[in-house]
Structure 1
Amino acid sequence: MTTPTIDVQNFLDESPLTRFQILVILLCFLTVAADGFDTAAIGFIAPTLRVQWQLQPAQLAPLFASGLFGLMAGALVFGPLADRVGRKWVLVLTTLGFGIASIASAKAASVESLTVWRFVTGIGLGGAMPTAITLTSEFCPSRKRSLLVTMMFCGFAIGSAVGGLAAAGIIASHGWQGVLVLGGVLPVLLSAVLAGLLSESVRYLALRGGQDERIAAILSRVRPDPALAGARFTGARKAAGSPVRQLFAPGLAVGTILLWICFFIILLIFYLLTSWLPTLLNGSGRTAQEATLISLMFPVGSTVGAVAVGALMDRLNPYAVLVGSYLLAACLIASLGAATGSPSLFVLAVFGAGVGTGGSLVGVNALAASFYPTASRATGVSWANALGRAGSIVGSLIGGTLLSMGWPLSAVFAVAAAPAVVAAASLSMMAMMARRQAPVLAMVGEQAPT
């Protein structure tokens, strides 16, 4: 009797979206939400730290940058590790790691010690988010992949917003330390849930080989099918070279560089605004609580933009959608400077800037998850994020520098808007070169985003 052969991605594509897949997406959503909470927490507690420790804006810049250096280091290390040993346990351990480090950072007695702990926290954060993106992508049917990945990634913006709400209430009663403790306890508890409920990626297991029984058990939770019993499972084929080397294979190398430029720019913009917007507003005469609540409109807008971009990327050319999103971000961020005189108009402008920026950030992550083959997907997403973290570091440092120089808000927002146009041009070049990518992915049994 002939052993049936089943392609795992075809099986997922032919199945309806099930509760099991939704569970995987939800767990990754919660992980990214915890990531967003911890990443944004330092920006929301910065005004309180500045007063309590009598710090100048330039002294806060290394504190912001240390966490981002940790994020970059974590992404560089854990991406290739997830491609070698699997997605699940890398996600569990990095989530546990940044939770413990966040709790420890609440004990810091000086800006120097807090800076060190933010670096350690960043290492775990840097590994968790790209792994969650990769795992979500590999459990989704192709027809809904961009939308589901972006909806999962909305957890980051929602976590950031919850961080702002927590800061507005907790700092008053428990000090800035309470925000960091809450940001640590939640991921520690979540890591135990991930260990018990999360499944390994079936696309990774098929690539690894010799895992037919394990794949059958997982796919039966997606859709029970008698053909799964005793079947041989196939999927993407291994490419030559290490996961890092595969990023620079012919047909992918130029796209990798252009993708890195897009990540660098959007994370520069995102962290310039999320790190310094509360402080900028506080310095313009608004109270710390007012500044925090206005700043919350940015992650709210980011969530709306992410869902809209994800839905459009599944229906239209994903490159064209992202070009439009980057240009929208540039226009709306630039408009912030002109809207500062009107509180209601400024709130709308902050929301609109979040729509464009969040759509670009989440959309480019979804694009990266489909740009690379399975064998190097975690590395590709992680390294793109790692190089993007260099942009986030620059964004954080620029904010402190411009504040120290006394630049007006209009000039700061103009600086933040201009790079988005460069990213739009980079994506346009990627779209023109997409035909070179298709043969590379076809060699390993995968398809390029179109």
Structure 2
Amino acid sequence: MPGNRNIDIQLFLNTNRFSAFQWTVFALCFSIVLLDGFDTAAIGFIAPSLVVEWGVPRPALAPVLSAALFGLAAGALFTGPLADRFGRKLVLIFSVLVFGLASLGSSLSADLTMLTVFRFVTGLGLGAAMPNAVTLMNEFCPDSRRATLTNAMFCGFPLGAALGGFLAAWMIPLWGWRSVLQLGGIAPLILAVLLVRFLPESIRYMVANQRSVEQVRAVLMRISNSVKDAASFTMSEPGGVKKGQSGPVIVVSGSYVVGSLMLWISYFMGLVIFYALINWMPILFKDAGIDPRTATLISALFPLGGVGAILFGWFMDRYNGNWIIAIGYGLTAIFIYAIGQSIGTIALLMAIVFIAGTLMNTAQSSMPALAASFYPTQGRATGVAWMLGVGRFGGIAGSYLVAELSRRQLTFAEIFMVVAIPGVIAAIALVIKQFVHPEKRIVGLASVAGTLAH
């Protein structure tokens, strides 16, 4: 029978081992992000087949290639507040269903216009899924492992994109380009069934929204039966949050607005760099005199280092996350500038491109964990989603940046010097965030208990 004990949720998570139940939450969220990466990248792998089958010029593919980016931005911006209001689980299941069904619809497309519409809808679902998977995972983590586990989950995205490339290379010759989109639709629908059955609602969301003691206890009992006699559950939240405030109000409130703006600027600038280089490096290297095959291979080194986010997560769990990621962006800027100075030596160029990519992808992949730790439960889904949504416009800007620089006839070295500048801006933004909102590290369980008691 329940006693009269009050349990603090975060103290409970901090003092119990990471259970098989929490690993299940991790696996489900990782699968969501993995399929997100697969479906986001799928259009790039099937684009050459579209040119051949439909006889369209390459420039005509631009709307199809960018449609999902606009959908990603819209999905993140609009569904974050919905998740803070109606729950992480419901929005996650709905978003996975949307991008699964839209991917199946894409496989039935008869022309570019139809495919563009379905890719936009796919982007809406993908944009909604990513921030809510990050938020839900974050809210089941102990403080000491939060950034490591969140970053590890986020690594599903580049792995999904890479898996898409390998599968597409095997499937398209056998069954055609539509088979890739069919797989990208069927897998999310199967996952949605698993989410309905096995994914719990965020425990912090449940407490924040005053779900019944029995509902909260039932979830926590799957982590440890030490809560079987709990009569009530509470959780600590940062100051400056009023009961009943909506997610959007919290994110732009006086207590959080500067930090929100700095997170948006950093993530935006990171995607300016990523899309500027991922889309244009092969062409820039070719124009600089490197043969096309070598240019492509060197460019492929850039996105390989995203798994380094796990290492950054480990550092963020032990040191100041703002400083860790700011240093990552600062070093990114230095090495991107160095690419422009290394065109004469292929071996050196390869090494610098790989290091620059590792730093860039690691810093960028660590941003959702930083945002999730910054906001309180009531505004966490909105905060993470809006950062990702605003950042997508950085990806769009990055795609056009190098085209404009080339039109102005900047040299190879000058282009990379300009592309390095967003890395400096991103680092400065996180330094400003640290000074305005100093990150407080919690050391030791005694300190945790003392903090949660207030």
Q: TM-score, normalised by structure 1?
A: 0.87
Map 1:415-434 to 2 at 5 A: 415-434=418-437
Percent of residue pairs identical: 42
**CA distance change for structure 1 residues 286 and 292 in 2, over 3 Å: closer, same or farther?**
closer
AA in 2 matched with 1:254: V
Distance 1:211 1:296, change over 3 A: farther
Counterpart among 380, 383, 387 of residue 384 in structure 1: 387
Residue by residue over 1:256-307, the C-alpha shift from the partner in whole angstroms, topping out at 9 and shown as x without a partner, is: 11111111111222233344556767886435xx777655533331112x11
Match of 2:325 among 322, 326, 329: 322
Amino acid at match of 1:334: Y
Give the structure 2 partner of residue 108 of structure 1.
Answer: 109
**For the residues of structure 2 that align with 1:91 and 1:344, how far apart are their CA atoms?**
44
Contact 2:77–2:385, Cα closer than 8 Å, also in 1: yes
In structure 1, the residue matched to 2:444 is none
Counterpart of 2:139 in structure 1 is 138
**Alignment of 1:299 onto 2:303:** yes
Stretches of structure 1 that go unaligned for 5 or more consecutive residues are 439-444
Aligned residue in 1 for 2:254: 250
Q: 1:105 to 1:401 in 2, by over 3 A?
A: farther
Amino acid at match of 1:232: S
CA contact (8 A) 2:320 2:439 kept: no
Partner Cα distance (1:125, 1:279) in 2: 29
Please, which moves more after superposition, 340-349 or 358-367? 340-349
Cα deviations across residues 283-333 of structure 1 (Å, max 9, x unaligned)? 86435xx777655533331112x1121111111111110111101222233
Residue 209 of structure 1 corresponds to 210
For 1:37-186, what aligned pairs fall within 5 Å after superposition? Answer: 37-50=38-51, 58-186=59-187
The corresponding residue for 2:445 is none
1:393 aligns with 2:399: no
Aligned-partner Cα distance in 2 for 1:161–1:30 = 14
Deviation of 1:183 after TM superposition, in Å, equals 2.2
Pick closer, same or farther for the CA change 1:105–1:407 going to 2, 3 Å: farther
CA shift digits 1:160-199 (9 cap, x unpaired): 2212223333344444333322222222221111111111
Moved more, 372-381 or 42-51: 42-51
Q: Return the letter of the residue paired with 2:318.
A: R
Distance 1:137 1:34, change over 3 A: same
Contact 2:245 2:378 in 1 (8 A): no
Question: Are 2:4 and 2:229, in contact at CA under 8 Å, matched by a contact in 1?
Answer: no
More moved, 339-348 vs 242-251: 339-348
Q: Which residue of 2 aligns with 1:356?
A: 359
* Aligned-partner residue type, residue 257 of structure 1: L
Distance in 1 (CA, whole Å) between partners of 2:86 and 2:40 is 26
Q: Secondary structure at the match of 2:254?
A: coil
Q: State the secondary structure of the residue aligned to 2:35.
A: helix
Q: Which structure's CA Rg is the greater one? A: 2
Deviation at 1:222, TM superposition (A): 0.9
Query: How far does the alpha carbon of each residue in 1:353-396 deviate from its partner, in whole angstroms, 9 at most, with x for none?
Result: 32111111121111100111000100110111111111112123
Instruction: Give the whole-Å Cα distance in 2 for the aligned partners of 1:292 and 1:173.
Output: 25
Q: Secondary structure at the match of 2:252?
A: coil
CA distance in 1, matches of 2:342, 2:165: 22
Q: CA deviation at 1:231?
A: 2.1
Alpha carbons 2:271, 2:391 under 8 Å: kept: yes
The alpha-carbon deviation at position 127 of structure 1 amounts to: 0.3
Change over 3 Å in CA distance of 1:198–1:429 after alignment to 2: same
Contact 2:282/2:292 (CA < 8 Å) preserved in 1? Answer: no
Aligned to 2:222, the other structure's residue is in SS state helix
1:353/1:239 CA distance change after superposition, 3 Å: farther
SS at match of 1:210: coil
Amino acid at match of 1:20: F
Q: Please identify, of 124-133 and 237-246, the stretch whose mean Cα deviation from structure 2 is larger.
A: 237-246
1:372 matched residue in structure 2:
375
2:228 aligns to what?
Answer: 228
Tell me the TM-score normalized by structure 2.
0.87
Q: Of 331, 334, 355, which aligns to 2:334?
A: 331
Residue in structure 2 matched with residue 442 of structure 1 by the alignment: none
Give the match's secondary structure for 1:139: coil
Q: Deviations over 1:227-257 (max 9, x none)?
A: 4345211124654532101112222111111
Query: Would the alpha carbon gap of residues 249 and 59 (structure 1) be closer, same or farther in structure 2, given more than 3 Å must change?
Result: same
Aligned to 2:197: 196
* Structure 2 counterpart SS, 1:5: strand
Query: Is contact 1:333-1:353 (8 Å) kept?
Result: yes
Query: Residue type of the partner of 1:149?
Result: T
Q: Which amino acid aligns with 1:23?
A: T
State the AA in 1 paired with 2:22: Q
- How far did residue 416 of structure 1 move? 3.0
Deviation readout 1:396-425 (Å, 9 max, x if unpaired): 333565678887765554443221111101
Aligned-partner Cα distance in 1 for 2:192–2:348: 41
Q: Which amino acid aligns with 1:371?
A: F
CA-based RMSD of the aligned residues comes to 3.0
> Which range is displaced more, 398-407 or 185-194?
398-407
Question: Number of residue pairs matched?
Answer: 438
Structure 1 CA distance for aligned equivalents of residues 233 and 198 of structure 2: 23
Return the alpha-carbon distance in structure 2 between the equivalents of residues 328 and 139 of structure 1.
32
Evaluate the alpha carbon distance shift between residue 232 and residue 240 of structure 1 in structure 2; reply closer, same or farther with a 3 A threshold: closer
The answer (yes or no) to whether the contact 2:89–2:202 under 8 Å persists in 1 is yes
1:98 touches 1:125 (CA, 8 Å); kept in 2? Answer: yes
Other structure's SS at 2:128 match:
helix
